[in-house]
Amino acid sequence: MALDEPTDNDQVYETNGFTFLIEKQLLEEAKPIKVDFISTPEGQGFVISSGAKKSSDCGGCTSC
């Protein structure tokens, strides 16, 4: 997640006073996408899940 300004290539969603943007092409590849804010004893933060398929060639990450 990052701060950004909407463009013509973005799908915009507004909910509970928050505005979310996602590139339309990425949305088609990753939907459904779910964004939750969680609070645990370890801390607070956003959890993002999607239907995107994991790839073994994902740009060098070690967790795929």
Find tokens 């590139």 and name the residue: 23
Say what the pTM is: 0.61
Q: 8-56 pLDDT, tens per residue?
A: 999 999 988 889 899 999 999 898 989 899 999 999 998 999 988 776 5
Q: Is residue 64 part of a domain?
A: no
Q: Please indicate, yes or no, if residue 5 is contained in any of the structural domains.
A: no
Q: Fill in the amino acid letter for 24.
A: K
Residue 61, domain member (yes or no): no
Q: Does the residue 4 lie in any domain?
A: no
Strands (E), the chain: 10-15, 18-23, 33-40, 43-50
Is the backbone peptide bond immediately before 6 cis, with ω within 30 degrees of 0? no
Rounded to the nearest 10 degrees, how much is the dihedral formed by the CA atoms of 61, 33, 2, 9?
A: 110
27 domain-assigned = yes
| Domains in the chain, number | 1
Locate 52 and state its tokens.
Answer: 């995107």
- For 42, the domain range is 10-50
